[in-house]
Amino acid sequence: MLSALLANAFFACSSGPSDTPALSAEAERGRSVYLGNCIACHNIDPAKAGGLGPEVKGSSRELLEARVVTATYPPGYTPKRPSAVMQPLPKLAGDIDALAAYLK
Ligand code: HEC
């Protein structure tokens, strides 16, 4: 009985997306934007810290818009780093949805 339960738990976990899940078209576009504009400082794997910037996986759309377009933070947000190295990239204002889809 117990082993049946364990086997079930095992299969439930192993069917999850352990490596890279398929990306939506929007997230795929976000990935190109990220690779083209962010990885000079952030890690190519957004879940890890990069050479200059912190990990950005899980960033909300609100945070991305504030940080990327205007180099600010949403009200009440505590930044991961106290520095202000990252320059705003206002040309990416139209790509925030895609970035959020990729980084969520
Ligand atoms: C010139 C290097 C550089 C580039 C290019 C850059 N960043 Fe950053 N980023 C940083 C650094 C350093 C920080 C930490 C705060 C600071 O010093 O500005 C940061 C902070 C952030 C934060 C806030 C993290 C947090 O939760 O506090 C987000 C989100 C972010 N970057 C996203 C991006 C995205 C998305 C791009 C590409 C569109 C990008 N960054 C491009 C260097 C960079």
CB 46 within 8 A of CB 34: yes
Map out the domains of the chain as residue ranges.
Answer: 23-103
| Domain 23-103 classification at class level | mainly alpha
CA distance 65 to 74: 9
Q: What is the pLDDT of residue 16?
A: 47
Find out whether 55 and 49 touch, Cβ atoms under 8 Å: yes
Give 40-88 pLDDT, tens digit per residue.
999 999 999 999 999 999 999 999 999 999 999 999 999 999 999 999 9
What integer pLDDT is reported at residue 96 of this predicted model? 98
- Tell me, in angstroms, the distance from the centre of ligand 1 to residue 64's CA: 9
Residue-level pLDDT at 1: 55
Q: What is the pLDDT, as a whole number, of residue 34?
A: 98
Q: Which residues line ligand 1 (CB under 6 A)?
A: 37-38, 40-42, 52-54, 56, 59, 63-64, 67-68, 79-81, 83-86, 89, 92, 99
Give the tens place of pLDDT for each residue, 15-27. 445 566 789 999 9
The whole-chain average pLDDT of the chain stands at: 88
Instruction: Give the nearest ligand 1 atom to 80 CA.
Output: 27
